[in-house]
Amino acid sequence: MSSKRIRPSLLASLPALLLVACGGEPVAEPQAPAAEVSEAAVSCYDQCFQFLPLCPEQCQATYSDCYDLTQDCYASCDRGVGPWLPC
């Protein structure tokens, strides 16, 4: 009767035993570096939004002009060609 109890537990642990017997470890999924992940996570609209406060200094333009440029950037996102950042 005890052999009937051992068999199911042995079968359940068979994959782990084979892994140990072969000297292997579970293969981890390769992960992208953190910098690539964060850049990929920034959407077109986010890039336009982040551009607005930097625009006056980078483009030597007024805030009003930069607002118009940012609207152009959002429009390029809507067309699927963006982000269009002028500077």
Q: Per-residue pLDDT for 5 more than 80?
A: no
Count of domains for the chain: 1
Residue 57: give the domain boundaries. 40-87
Determine the distance from the C-alpha atom of residue 33 to the mean position of all C-alpha atoms in its chain, rounded to a whole number. 10
Burial of 73 (0-12, 13-18, 19+ CB in 10 A): buried
- The verdict on residue 53 lying in a domain is yes
User: In the prediction, which pLDDT does 40 show?
Assistant: 56
CA distances (Å), 67 to each of 11, 49, 75, in order? 66, 10, 12
d(CA 22, CA 14) in angstroms, rounded, equals 12
- The verdict on residue 25 lying in a domain is no
Contact status, residue 51 vs residue 70, Cβ threshold 8 Å: yes
- The verdict on residue 51 lying in a domain is yes
Q: Per-residue pLDDT for 44 more than 90?
A: yes
- The verdict on residue 31 lying in a domain is no
Q: Which residue has the higher pLDDT, 64 or 17?
A: 64
pTM, rounded to two decimals:
0.51
